[in-house]
Amino acid sequence: MGSEAGHSENVQQSSRFVATWLVGGVVLGLSVLGLRFALPKKKKKRPIRVYMDGCFDMMHYGHCNALRQARALGDQLVVGVVSDAEIIANKGPPVTPLHERMIMVGAVKWVDEVISDAPYAITEDFMRKLFDEYNIDYIIHGDDPCLLPDGTDAYALAKKVGRYKQIKRTEGVSSTDIVGRMLLCVRERSTGDSPSHASLQRQFSHGHSQKSEDGGARSETRVSHFLPTSRRIVQFSNSKGAGPGARIVYIDGAFDLFHAGHVEILRLARGLGDFLLVGIHTDQTVSANRGAHRPIMNLHERSLSVLACRYTDEVIIGAPWEVSKDMITTFNISLVVHGTVAEDNDFQKEKGNPYAVPISMDIFKILDSPLDITTSTIIRRIVSNHEAYQKRNEKKAASERRYYEGKSYVSGD
């Protein structure tokens, strides 16, 4: 009997051992003869780090889409922002200085790290620094040409070592094109333009004016090449809405020629709550309040630029001028804010104050804008130095024409 009982106990212990081994899963806590065993843990895979550089001057949704595509090729995106001196040496004077461009790039939600004062060309020394110090796996650039003054490819070294990847250029916008729109809007308000100024306007306004029925030019109508799609909006949008009980902050505006001043006021606004809702005014609303020459960028272009900002959670595409009670309750808005630096800051002196309702509800707040920059600031920079920008963009305009003439297929990315 004792032998049978002992044999039965051994079988049960053996069964418990097997059961423990099978149920234990990834980590097995077994006590056998006083020893503890565990399966070896899988080594965590190192994230793929990709690098993209650029001037990012007058940053627009095309730049943002390039960064989005670059980020999709890896796990972490490091972005190099070319120095002012390098831009001057290779292209001409930048419209926006380095510190503003750094703010813009750092605010793009697909960017993980920013390198200041990056060189215009990928030299062997800088490429080695990217690989060794920044652990970069691939260097990314668009399929449009990037040539140095001597005509050589700025990314030749990266291609030679097999560490280069290419993305598709975003159709419908370029810095050259935006300069043209700005100068065209200036012409609408000016009389007696100088010959050089008029020539510059013609150079950059190509494709952005329509003819009237009598055959004359109608310069007040600017035509964007941008073709908005629902897919592009989804690509730029955040997937999550405001959670239950979230404090929703609302800010609205034209957000034309999205710049560092916009980024900084959005950053402050986002810090006042859990969710930032941004209202983008329609083209008609902007024109009615700022003149027929505005906006420079159309509604969908402006919406994408705001959506690409990491401080934005959601946008209202075509927000009303007045913030109504119905709008506040529909979107569960807790606070409405407005910056001190804006082109429509006389709203409180006018009849029909667009913020009358949130003011009456005591949910309105004026924020001190960190930067004294408006859309007019950017336009003035262009106009005051238009001859320098003409020289800067002559070669760029030619390369863009060659790109469009030679392209055969554009990916939806």
pLDDT digits (tens, 9 = 90+) for 97-147: 999 999 999 999 999 999 999 998 889 999 999 999 999 999 999 887 777
Q: What is the distance between the alpha carbons of residues 368 and 362, in angstroms, rounded to a whole number? A: 18
Average pLDDT over residues 151-162: 88
> Does residue 21 carry a pLDDT above 60?
no
* pLDDT at residue 22, as a whole number: 37
Please report, to the nearest 10 degrees, the dihedral formed by the alpha carbons of residues 224, 227, 230, 233 taken in order.
Answer: -50
Average pLDDT over residues 233-255: 93
Q: 49-167 adopts what CATH topology?
A: Rossmann fold (3.40.50)
Start and end residues for every CATH 3.40.50.620 domain found in the chain: 49-167, 230-375
Q: What is the distance between the alpha carbons of residues 259 and 141, in angstroms, rounded to a whole number? A: 23
Q: What is the distance between the alpha carbons of residues 104 and 201, in angstroms, rounded to a whole number? A: 27
> Does residue 288 carry a pLDDT above 80?
yes
- Asked whether 317 and 300 are in contact (CB, 8 A), the reply is yes
> Does residue 184 carry a pLDDT above 90?
no
pLDDT band at 311 (very low <50, low <70, confident <90, very high): very high
Tokens 């989005």 belong to 68
Name residues whose C-beta falls within 8 Å of residue 407's C-beta, 6 or more positions apart in sequence. Answer: none
The reply to whether the predicted model has a pTM over 0.85 is no
- In CATH, 230-375 is 3.40.50.620: yes
Please indicate whether residue 328 or residue 231 has the higher confidence score (pLDDT): 328
pLDDT band at 203 (very low <50, low <70, confident <90, very high): very low
Phi, psi at 155, each rounded to 5°:
-115, 20
> Does residue 176 carry a pLDDT above 70?
yes
pLDDT band at 37 (very low <50, low <70, confident <90, very high): very low
Structure tokens at 10: 């051994």
How many residues does the structure list for the chain?
413
63 by Cβ neighbours in 10 Å (0-12 / 13-18 / 19+) ranks as buried
- Asked whether 240 and 205 are in contact (CB, 8 A), the reply is no
Residue 114 φ/ψ region, left for φ over 0, alpha for ψ in the -120 to 50 degree band, beta for the rest:
beta
Span of 87-101, 257-271, 326-340 with lowest mean pLDDT:
87-101
Name residues whose C-beta falls within 8 Å of residue 377's C-beta, 6 or more positions apart in sequence. Answer: 259, 261
Percent of the chain with pLDDT over 90: 53
Q: What is the distance between the alpha carbons of residues 175 and 356, in angstroms, rounded to a whole number? A: 38
Q: What is the distance between the alpha carbons of residues 274 and 277, in angstroms, rounded to a whole number? A: 10
* pLDDT at residue 383, as a whole number: 82
Structure tokens at 392: 């800067």
Q: What is the distance between the alpha carbons of residues 303 and 286, in angstroms, rounded to a whole number? A: 14
Average pLDDT over residues 214-231: 55
Average pLDDT over residues 169-175: 75
Phi, psi at 183, each rounded to 5°:
-70, -30
pLDDT band at 298 (very low <50, low <70, confident <90, very high): very high
* pLDDT at residue 340, as a whole number: 95
Average pLDDT over residues 170-198: 63
pLDDT band at 86 (very low <50, low <70, confident <90, very high): very high
Q: What is the distance between the alpha carbons of residues 193 and 187, in angstroms, rounded to a whole number? A: 8
Tokens 């939600």 belong to 109
Please indicate whether residue 324 or residue 145 has the higher confidence score (pLDDT): 324
Please indicate whether residue 298 or residue 216 has the higher confidence score (pLDDT): 298
